[in-house]
Amino acid sequence: MALTKTNNAAASVKIVVLGIIVILLFTLPFWAPENIVMIFLLIMLYMSLGQMWNLLAGYAGLVSLGQQIFIGLGGYSLAVITEVYHLNFLLAIFIGGVVSVIFVLIISQPIFKMKGIYFSISTWVIAEALALYFLNWAFVGYGLGFNIRTTYEMSTSFLYYLSLVLGLGSVLLVYIIMRTKRGLALMAMRDNESAAEVMGVELYKTKLTIFLISAFITGMTGAVLYLNISFIQPYAAFSIDWTVASVVIVIIGGIGTMEGSIIGAVVYVILKQFLYDFPGISMIILGVIAILIILIAPKGIMGMLHDKFGWEVLSPRRSPKKLMKMIRF
Amino acid sequence: MEVLLQLILNGILLGGLYAMIGLGMSLIFGIMGIINLAHGDLMIVSTYMSMVVAMRFSGNVFIALLITVVVMIIIGFLCQTFLINKVIDKGPEPPLLITFGLSIILQNVLLLIFGADAKNIPTRVSSENIVTTPWFSISEIYLINFVISIVVILLLSFVMKKTYFGRAIRATSGDIVASELVGVNTKRIYAYTMALAMATASIAGLLIGMTFTYSPSTGTQYLIFAFGVVVIGGMGNLVGTLLGGIILGLSQMVGSYFFGTAYQLFCGYIVLLVILTFRPQGLFAGARK
């Protein structure tokens, strides 16, 4: 009885704290200076990238090294739709997601035949091939790329709210997915693929769904990122650096946890801003941190906190009673 | 027609260089079953090292190569012993991510020291043709690349088949538990394998430096070439590696004939993806037995 009470108290404290954080985030542009808003804007976008890579690698066991495919497709959709067709940028962001989904549908047949390392490298090769294709494609202006002029009259706070929606939306989305039956199937698949299949998990369908969701959100994030950068060019858009960022964020924060990408994104963006004048050094430090974390604390900062103090804010676990209800056939 | 003949010839010769690039990756993948994502960057590190030694200190490419090989062997041994061996039992992802981190570090260290400009190692052989006929010509450096890679592949096959060291490596890749039972220190063997792979990578690095221009970011491209060679040739298959290199070189050259030089790399990647789709175990897998 006493235990339930403390549990309930802890739960309500958690909800209050989360609520305060969300309110602070939503009111940020009203009380914080512009450079702080800018930093939080980047944190939100990188958080979304981290969440989506974590969904693939941490939960579905698909170690993608080709997240830049969707960043590039999203960014180019934005550029083409606003610069060539002069249509609304919100539509462009949405189409950025849709184009990524269509692209995944095209490559899904061959790419899901590959397992493990083959999958990882193939996604990377596809991204490199796309970069070369865009470099030689007249429609997107070859290697010259586009200036995305639609952003010139947008305020930082407007861009911040767009990023906030994507960032918090991605966390919420992963949380909801993990709480459904599909999330359970996903974790079963990650832990033991053949056992999950025997229990009735449709491997191909589950993997495809997750890859499609991840592509959709990453594509939209890519479009908003380029709304922010306002200049797109093939080598930068399809650069492995986007995947590097996602991987580093998730490893630092903790692979297979939802909070991990949040912590990782904060560390990543702040370190990058702090060493803004020395981009090489910040990447070297991040690389060293990532290697040390894999060697010393493979579960990342969040995993360490969870093991030591039992901290867990966004848990994919459910009460046993609820769980029994869900897996009943 | 002459153009196509020339391109096919170049493709085959270039394939030798690609086989050399893929050789180290093939050893690592075949024996440890992991992909070293830092392989391309380690290769470019050795290219820069050769460049510095050759241009600043010795002025002789061979001495530069010798020094680079020794240093890279030590680096490979240390990387394997203190980084990759620590996580090699923990499934495929941790080694992949460790080498990914290594790749980020190496690339940015090179960028910090040498800047982003493209460089090359100028030698007398870089621009001369050794054979010139009305129909085709053979570039001296391409021929040197091809010959060196064949010699290295033959040498490596000999080591793998005839020496105790080679037998221990093959035993480890065949059955890790059985080889530990008969007294092979498998972790140590992994470290030796990585050292051997780095020795071939530093030869490949020097050849790349003499043949093409390079910059800190080219490592990525050569990593994909190396992976392509291994995938096409079948992992751990040394003769397959040579054939894989030639197929990759040919598909790039023939692709550039039909679609223009701008699509040269693109064609190589597409051929690689097609082979990955239909025969992920490699075109020549099982040919060794």
Asked whether the beta carbons of residue B276 and residue A291 sit closer than 8 angstroms, the reply is no
Q: Is residue B28 part of a domain?
A: yes
Give the chain A residue whose CA is nearest to the CA of B96: A117
Cα A167 from Cα A45, distance rounded (Å):
6
Res. A66: pLDDT tops 90:
yes
Query: Who among B112, B263, B273 is closest to A122 (CB)?
Result: B273
Residues in chain A: 329
Q: Is residue B289 part of a domain?
A: no
Check if A288 contacts B (Cβ < 8 Å).
Answer: yes
Residue B185 CA: distances (Å) to CA of B31, B48, B77, B94, B272: 14, 33, 14, 22, 36
Bridge partner list, B214:
B119
Are A280 and A287 within 8 A, CB to CB? no
Distance from CA of B275 to the nearest CA of A (A): 10
- Give chain B's radius of gyration (CA, Å): 19
Are B169 and B192 within 8 A, CB to CB? yes
Contacting residues of B for A143, CB less than 8 Å apart: none
Total tally of structural domains belonging to chain B? 1
Check if A129 contacts B (Cβ < 8 Å).
Answer: yes
Which value does ipTM take for this structure? Answer: 0.88
DSSP type of residue A149: G
Mean pLDDT over each residue of chain A, to the nearest integer = 88
Distance from CA of A280 to the nearest CA of B (A): 5
Q: Is residue B187 part of a domain?
A: yes
Partner B, chain A 239-268, Cβ-Cβ below 8 Å: 240, 244, 247-248, 251
How many distinct helices (H) and strands (E) make up chain A?
A: 15, 2
| Regions in chain B scoring below 50 on pLDDT | 287-289
Res. A329: pLDDT tops 60:
no
Distance from CA of A167 to the nearest CA of B (A): 25
Q: Please classify residue B115 by burial: count the beta carbons closer than 10 Å to its beta carbon, then call 0-12 exposed, 13-18 middle and 19+ buried.
A: exposed
Distance from CA of B228 to the nearest CA of A (A): 9
Distance from CA of A198 to the nearest CA of B (A): 22
Q: Chain-centre distance of CA B160, in angstroms?
A: 18
**What does the block give as tokens for B5?**
């003949």
Q: Is residue B286 part of a domain?
A: no
Contacting residues of A for B86, CB less than 8 Å apart: 295
Q: Please classify residue A321 by burial: count the beta carbons closer than 10 Å to its beta carbon, then call 0-12 exposed, 13-18 middle and 19+ buried.
A: exposed
Amino acid at A86: H
**pLDDT, tens digit, 9 for 90 and up, residues B199-257:** 999 999 999 999 999 999 899 889 999 998 988 887 767 888 999 999 999 999 999 88
Are A88 and A199 within 8 A, CB to CB? no
Which H or E element spans position A62? Answer: none
**pLDDT, tens digit, 9 for 90 and up, residues A255-293:** 888 889 999 999 999 998 888 888 788 889 989 999 999
- Give chain A's radius of gyration (CA, Å): 20
Contacting residues of A for B101, CB less than 8 Å apart: 248, 287-288, 290-291, 294
Q: Is residue B285 part of a domain?
A: no
**pLDDT, tens digit, 9 for 90 and up, residues A6-44:** 667 777 888 898 899 999 999 999 988 988 999 999 999
Average confidence (pLDDT) over A121-148: 90
Distance from CA of A79 to the nearest CA of B (A): 23
The closest of A127, A205, A221 to A173, measured between CA atoms, is A221
Q: Is residue B284 part of a domain?
A: no
More confident residue, B103 or A5: B103
- Residue B19's CB: how many other CB atoms inside 10 A? 31
Cα A20 from Cα B272, distance rounded (Å):
52
- Return the pLDDT at A320: 63
Strand stretches in A58-207, DSSP E:
146-147
**pLDDT, tens digit, 9 for 90 and up, residues A168-188:** 999 999 999 988 888 888 888
Q: Is residue B269 part of a domain?
A: yes
Query: Who among A121, A126, A294 is closest to B98 (CB)?
Result: A294
Asked whether the beta carbons of residue B92 and residue A116 sit closer than 8 angstroms, the reply is yes
How many beta-carbon pairs under 8 angstroms link A with B?
Answer: 107
**pLDDT, tens digit, 9 for 90 and up, residues A204-254:** 888 899 999 999 999 999 999 999 998 999 989 999 889 989 999 999 998
Cα B229 from Cα B243, distance rounded (Å):
8
Q: Which of B104, B251, B259 to mutate to test the interface with A (most CBs of A within 10 A)?
A: B104
**What does the block give as tokens for B247?**
């197929």
Q: Which of A121, A242, A289 to mutate to test the interface with B (most CBs of B within 10 A)?
A: A121
- Return the pLDDT at A293: 92
**What does the block give as tokens for A190?**
């990650």
Structural domain harbouring B69: 2-278
- Return the pLDDT at A274: 87
Average confidence (pLDDT) over A134-156: 87
Asked whether the beta carbons of residue A280 and residue B109 sit closer than 8 angstroms, the reply is yes
Cα B284 from Cα A107, distance rounded (Å):
25
Cα B134 from Cα B138, distance rounded (Å):
12
Full 3-state SS string of chain B: CHHHHHHHHHHHHHHHHHHHHHHHHHHHHHHHCCCCCCHHHHHHHHHHHHHHHHHHHHCCHHHHHHHHHHHHHHHHHHHHHHHHHHHCCCCCHHHHHHHHHHHHHHHHHHHHHHCCCCECCCCHHHHCEEEECCCCEEEHHHHHHHHHHHHHHHHHHHHHHHCHHHHHHHHHHHCHHHHHHCCCCHHHHHHHHHHHHHHHHHHHHHHHHHHCCECHHHHHHHHHHHHHHHHHHCCCCHHHHHHHHHHHHHHHHHHHHHHCHHHHHHHHHHHHHHHHHHCCCCCCCCCCC
Residues with Cβ within 8 Å of residue A154, at least 6 apart in sequence: A227
Residues with Cβ within 8 Å of residue B104, at least 6 apart in sequence: A244, A248, A283, A284, A286, A287, A290
Cα B170 from Cα B189, distance rounded (Å):
10
Query: Who among A128, A281, A294 is closest to B97 (CB)?
Result: A294
- Return the pLDDT at A325: 66
Asked whether the beta carbons of residue B263 and residue A294 sit closer than 8 angstroms, the reply is no
Q: Is residue B105 part of a domain?
A: yes
Amino acid at B176: I
Are B244 and B230 within 8 A, CB to CB? yes
- Return the pLDDT at B287: 44
Asked whether the beta carbons of residue A114 and residue B276 sit closer than 8 angstroms, the reply is yes
Distance from CA of A283 to the nearest CA of B (A): 7
